[in-house]
Amino acid sequence: MNIRDIEDKIIEKLKEEIPELLVRGFPDKPSEFLLLHPIGAILIHYQGGNYSKSQSLGYVNQTKTAEFSITIVTRNLRSNAGAYELLDSVRAILTGYRIDGCSQLTPVKENFISENKGIWQYAINFSLTLPCIQIF
């Protein structure tokens, strides 16, 4: 399973569960992203990964822990489709969600990113593990 496939599965799951929002991968040029959706957006991107020590002699057999960030962009903080409610919804939807070939998604952290002219941004990060085995 590669990074793009995992990201696509997360996007697909969130689109299915929260169809009223724009759900997509993080834009290539984040500074140019404008929230045009009337309610908000959920943007997903790969945050990075860590590798375990090899678990075998003679070939590489590791576990990779990959982290994905889910950014919530919304026009309000506390109402029904506000940042707080969306953070809780995303956490509930993705906690324990399993993508083939990977462990279940586990929440790692969440944090405030910014507020600009009434547009609120928060992030919640999830990790999962997957095998990383040398190909011969």
Lowest mean pLDDT among 7-11, 35-39, 52-56, 72-76: 52-56
Edge to edge, the sheet with strand 106-116 lists: 22-25, 40-51, 61-74, 119-133, 106-116
Helix axes 3-17, 83-94, angle to 10 degrees: 120
* Cα 114 from Cα 30, distance rounded (Å): 13
* Cα 60 from Cα 37, distance rounded (Å): 46
Q: Domain residue spans in the chain?
A: 3-133
What does the pLDDT look like over 96-128, one tens digit per residue?
A: 999 999 999 999 999 999 999 999 999 999 999
Percent of the chain with pLDDT over 90: 70
pTM value is 0.91
* Cα 38 from Cα 75, distance rounded (Å): 8
pLDDT at residue 23, rounded to an integer: 96
* Cα 42 from Cα 8, distance rounded (Å): 13
What does the pLDDT look like over 79-89, one tens digit per residue?
A: 877 899 999 99
For the segment(s) 3-133, the CATH number from 3.40.50.2000, 3.40.50.720, 3.40.50.970, 3.30.2000.10 is 3.30.2000.10
pLDDT at residue 135, rounded to an integer: 80
When the pLDDT of each residue in the chain is averaged and rounded to a whole number, the result is 92
pLDDT at residue 21, rounded to an integer: 94
pLDDT at 12 over 80: yes
Q: Which has the closest alpha carbon to 126: 33, 23, 28, 45?
A: 45
pLDDT at residue 81, rounded to an integer: 77
* Cα 136 from Cα 119, distance rounded (Å): 50
